[in-house]
Amino acid sequence: MSAAIIDGKALAAAVKAEAAAEVEALRAKGVAPCLAVLLVGDDPASAVYVRGKAADCAQCGIESRVIRLDAATTQEELLARLEALAADESVHGILVQLPLPAHIDEAAVIAAIPPEKDVDGFTPVNAGNLLTGGDCFAPCTPAGCIRMIQSTGIDIAGKRAVVVGRSNIVGKPAALLLLARNATVTVCHSRTKDLAAICREADILVAAVGRAGFITGDMVKPGAVVIDVGINRGADGKLHGDVDFAAAAEKAAFITPVPGGVGLMTRAMLMKNTVKAAQRHCD
Ligand code: NDP
């Protein structure tokens, strides 16, 4: 193996330490950062994610308020909860854990989060500001990817970046964040032709597909930075990325592992966004 591993655990710890220091400064000014998390239903994976977020908050000195609602909660009830949190000045960040039960319109709920408290960066206003280059909360996963790329010391400007995946929460914002840093960006998806050849041109390759081992070694340019966003549970019960790690590591200069990579950075970036939301109270 030739690639250096980008250590998500160490990097996430550094980002959380940065957030904790910022929280201390806010507390000295009388602002106690607070994140409210709404969890509807009893999806076990969502419950694990929410517990992780509360633990991260505790570690950074951020208050967390987890509001657990029954799976039968109506859209109106959920919107009413959001309205109350929106009006509550002691709550700086609001996050609705996805997915929501099928009877609830996810887009309508996300749109009801005030943009200045939208620490996931999923509201149309934040997505629009990301597109137009305005101040915004960047979604945590792609923001974490950028921090991981920057940690390698490479200059993103002028690099060929390829993002595989075009979801609103990962692929599209990752492409926009790379573009904002002057990379030349190509976005690939399920209709892309000659995907392997396009990937081979990438100095920076971001895989957000949701298919274990989708990016094979022959799709990686020698010396590339490979960021694996995928989290796929295999038949073996283990987590696998979208990249064939062993084969890609033979070619890449830098690569992220799964687990221990982007997932941890996503959690850390949520802490940074929550601090940013609280800092607005001091502006
Ligand atoms: P989505 O399912 O929303 O998007 C997947 C994207 O991959 C789509 O744009 C789809 O194309 C594209 N795709 C699917 N199959 C192919 C193919 N054969 N060739 C090319 N493109 C393909 O997933 P997400 O973006 O939400 O998540 C992607 C992965 O990242 C998942 O494994 C998810 O678990 C993981 N994830 C990890 C996070 C973390 O913190 N590490 C956070 C969020 C997600 P099309 O649009 O044409 O359908």
> pLDDT tens, 64-98?
999 999 999 999 999 999 999 999 999 999 999 99
The pTM score is 0.97
pLDDT at 92: 98
pLDDT at 243: 98
**Res. 41: pLDDT tops 80:** yes
Confirm whether 172 is a catalytic residue. Answer: no
Give the whole-angstrom CA distance, residue 70 versus residue 75.
Answer: 12
Confirm whether 193 is a catalytic residue. Answer: no
List Cα–Cα distances, 196 to 26, 146, 214, 250, in angstroms.
Answer: 48, 23, 10, 17
pLDDT at 245: 98
**Res. 149: pLDDT tops 90:** yes
Give the whole-angstrom CA distance, residue 33 versus residue 19.
Answer: 11
Residue 103 CA, distance from chain mean position: 25
pLDDT at 197: 98
The alpha carbon of 190 and the centre of ligand 1 are apart by a number of angstroms equal to: 10
Mean pLDDT of the chain: 97
Confirm whether 120 is a catalytic residue. Answer: yes
pLDDT at 134: 94
What mean pLDDT is predicted for residues 222-246?
Answer: 97
Give the whole-angstrom CA distance, residue 227 versus residue 208.
Answer: 9
What mean pLDDT is predicted for residues 218-242?
Answer: 97
Give the rounded percent of residues in the chain with a pLDDT score beyond 90: 98
Give the whole-angstrom CA distance, residue 99 versus residue 40.
Answer: 9
Q: At which residue do the structure tokens 């609830």 appear? A: 104
* Catalytic entry in 16, 56, 97, 159: 97
**Res. 30: pLDDT tops 80:** yes
pLDDT at 281: 77
pLDDT at 282: 77
* Catalytic entry in 120, 228, 242, 244: 120
The alpha carbon of 228 and the centre of ligand 1 are apart by a number of angstroms equal to: 11
